[in-house]
C-alpha cells in the first residue's frame, strides 16, 4: 500500500481535515499520515507579492520525510511560480512531492454548505497532484480531474474522476509497475 505524508503548512486546520484525509485514503487506497503542522520557510517568501515560491516549498517538503512514497503539502498561504502568479497545485516529480494552496481554494465559497465546496475542491486538486506523481500529464478535457485549472471556476466545473483516456493511462502505468495485471 502506498504511503502518503500530508503536511499542513501554516494555518490550515479545521473539521474538514479529517474528512479530506479519509476521502483521499479511500480514493487512492493509500495509507495517509498526518504530519505536525509546519511554518513555511521564510526563504520561500516574496515580500512584494506576499506569496510563497511553490517550486522551493514543494522540494522542501521532501526533506521532512524520506520514508513515505509521496509527500503532500496543504498550504494556508498563496503560492507563485516562474510559470504563473497564481498556483493552485505544484508538483515535483523529482521529489515525489506535491503542494496545494488551500488558501486559494477557500475563496468564493457558495451554497448552503460552503465547507463542502472547499473540501471538494481540495479533493480534486489532491487527486490531480497524485495523478501527476503517478505519471499522468495534464488533460485537456475540462471535466477530467487531471485538467489543470487556471481559475476557481475551472476547479468547480471539473469532476472528481478521471476521463476514460486518463483512466486507461493510469491503469497502464500501474501495469508497468506491476501493481495490477489487466486493464479491467
Ligand atoms: Zn483526462
pLDDT bin (cut points 50, 70, 90) of residue 74 is: very high
The answer on pLDDT for 184 being more than 80 is no
| pTM reported for the whole predicted model | 0.92
d(CA 144, CA 141): 5
Kindly give the distance from the C-alpha atom of residue 111 to the centroid of ligand 1, in angstroms, as a whole number. 27
Measure 170 CA to ligand 1 centroid, in angstroms.
10
Q: Tell me the sheet residues that pair with 101.
A: 75
181 is a domain residue: no
Domains of the chain: total? 1
CA 61/CA 5 separation, integer angstroms: 10
- SS percent in the chain: helix, strand, coil, step 5: 35, 20, 45
User: Which pLDDT score is estimated for 182?
Assistant: 64
In our burial notation (b when 16+ CB lie closer than 10 A, e otherwise), range 138-165 reads ebeeeebbbbbbeebeebeebeeebbee
41 within some domain: yes
Q: Which domain holds residue 33?
A: 3-176
CATH code, 91: 3.40.390.10
Query: How far apart are the CA of 176 and the centre of ligand 1, in A?
Result: 19
40 contacts 52 by C-beta, under 8 angstroms: yes
pLDDT band at 120 (very low <50, low <70, confident <90, very high): very high
> What would the mean pLDDT of 76-87 be, rounded to a whole number?
93
| Ligand 1 mean position, distance from CA 145 (Å) | 7
Task: Say how many Å lie between the CA of residue 118 and the centre of ligand 1.
Answer: 22
Give residue 45 CA to ligand 1 midpoint distance, Å: 33
User: Does a structural domain hold residue 184?
Assistant: no
183 within a domain of the structure (yes/no): no
Ligand 1 centroid – CA 50 distance (Å): 33
Q: Provide the edge-to-edge strand list for the sheet that holds 45-46.
A: 45-46, 51-53, 79-80
The x, y and z cell numbers of residue 35, run together, are 504530519
Residue 182, in any domain of the structure: no
From residue 53, give the alpha-carbon distance in Å to each of 23, 35, 80, 116, 174.
28, 21, 5, 28, 32
Ion ligand 1: residues, Cβ under 5 Å: 139, 141, 144, 146, 163, 166
pLDDT of 71 above 90? yes
Amino acid at each position: 500500500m502506498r504511503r502518503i505524508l500530508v503536511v499542513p503548512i501554516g494555518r490550515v486546520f479545521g473539521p474538514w481535515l479529517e474528512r479530506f484525509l479519509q476521502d483521499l485514503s479511500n480514493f487512492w487506497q493509500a495509507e495517509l499520515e498526518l504530519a505536525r503542522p509546519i511554518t513555511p520557510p521564510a526563504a520561500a517568501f516574496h515580500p512584494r507579492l506576499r506569496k510563497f515560491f511553490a517550486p522551493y516549498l514543494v522540494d522542501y517538503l521532501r526533506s521532512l520525510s524520506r520514508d513515505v512514497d509521496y509527500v503532500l503539502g496543504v498550504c494556508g498561504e498563496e503560492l507563485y511560480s516562474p510559470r504563473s502568479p497564481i498556483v493552485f497545485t505544484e508538483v515535483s516529480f523529482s521529489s515525489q512531492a506535491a503542494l496545494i494552496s488551500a488558501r486559494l481554494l477557500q475563496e468564493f465559497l457558495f451554497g448552503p454548505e460552503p465547507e463542502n465546496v472547499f473540501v471538494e475542491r481540495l479533493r480534486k486538486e489532491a487527486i490531480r497532484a497524485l495523478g501527476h506523481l503517478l505519471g499522468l500529464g495534464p488533460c485537456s478535457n475540462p471535466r477530467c480531474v487531471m485538467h489543470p485549472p487556471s481559475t476557481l471556476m475551472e476547479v468547480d466545473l471539473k469532476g472528481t474522476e478521471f476521463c476514460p483516456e486518463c483512466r486507461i493511462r493510469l491503469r497502464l502505468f500501474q501495469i508497468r509497475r506491476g501493481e495490477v495485471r489487466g486493464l479491467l
